[in-house]
Amino acid sequence: MAGSVRSVEYEQISKREIEREFRRLCEQAARRGVIGFVPVEMVRLLPVQSAYLRRKLDGLGPWSDITAVSIGVLYHEPEILAIPDDWVSEPPEDGRWNQYARAYTELNWLLGDVAGQLAERFSGVAEGPTLEGWVEQVKHVNDYFPHCVSHRAFAEAARVGWRGRSGLVVTPEAGPALRFATVFVPQRLSSDDRDLPGCGDCYACLEVCPILRPEEGYRERCRRRLGALGLEDEVCGICVRVCWEAVKSRRIESADRYQRIFRTD
């Protein structure tokens, strides 16, 4: 995705232009993507993350005039199916799980590049995907928070998806099987009022993963598991796969129901 284009002046920024450019970059990378918009001041962050973001966006303009553009890029189906379909405590010997780990690395690189290009094009600031390489360096998951923002918080507030029982953002398009980044642009753009189904009576992620118990502290338990698995990147994805399958099944059922209702003989 080499190359750059002229930055757009502040008054020229529009959601349609950003969406069009994002779609073009996704098509160029042969990936599907999702995008949403939300004014920054409408998103609740941890105090340390809010302080980090204010420093990062210093000089971009008044806080009330900055919009967060949440962008997500989807995994391909074979990459998701490389994840074990049930709980395992260590990787199978066939090494297939690393196909998902390699895709995780690729999507992080791709999102960093796409976010950077969008920021340059629309005079904004890019926040790349969640920090890598820290699982074995930090002593607790809370050590991440002063150094990044929550892409999940922006994606949820932008109505890209809803917060699932796993804590991940679940989208109608791909469940939680995607990676997020955020671009901040110096203009207030409206949010979309998107109807999202939510988890309903689905508990697939909690049923498959003993780490996702309702008690506090699951993120720290998850961090320790990622470090212990020893895959090529800091991933697990078992809850991702079962949720993706559940969302896909629900989507197929909805399509079948629609066809039955509107079928004509």
Contact 136, 229 (CB under 8 A): no
User: pLDDT digit string (tens) for 42-68?
Assistant: 999 989 999 999 999 999 999 999 999
pLDDT recorded at residue 12:
74
**In the structure, what pLDDT confidence band is assigned to residue 3 with cuts at 50, 70 and 90?**
very low
pLDDT recorded at residue 99:
98
* Tokens, residue 38: 């939300």
- Is the pLDDT confidence value at 196 over 50? yes
Mean pLDDT of 193-215: 90
Handedness of CA 147, 214, 90, 129 (dihedral sign): negative
Which has the higher per-residue pLDDT, 137 or 168? 168
Mean pLDDT of 145-173: 91
Contact 158, 186 (CB under 8 A): no
How would you class 261 by CB atoms within 10 Å of its CB: exposed for 0-12, middle for 13-18, buried for 19 or more? exposed
- Is the pLDDT confidence value at 143 over 50? yes
pLDDT recorded at residue 219:
80
Which has the higher per-residue pLDDT, 134 or 196? 196
Among the residue ranges 134-138, 214-218, 261-265, the one predicted with the least confidence is 261-265
Q: Are strands 125-127 and 67-74 parallel, antiparallel or unpaired?
A: unpaired
Mean pLDDT of 189-205: 92
pLDDT recorded at residue 144:
65
User: pLDDT digit string (tens) for 97-110?
Assistant: 999 999 999 999 99
Mean pLDDT of 66-81: 98
Packing angle between helix 15-28 and helix 97-121, nearest 10 degrees?
Answer: 140
The secondary structure of residue 144, as a DSSP letter, is T
* Tokens, residue 213: 């118990």
- Is the pLDDT confidence value at 227 over 70? yes
Which has the higher per-residue pLDDT, 161 or 217? 161
- Is the pLDDT confidence value at 260 over 60? no
* Tokens, residue 168: 């991940």
- Is the pLDDT confidence value at 124 over 80? yes
Instruction: With 0.85 as the threshold, say if the pTM is over it.
Output: yes
Which has the higher per-residue pLDDT, 257 or 213? 213
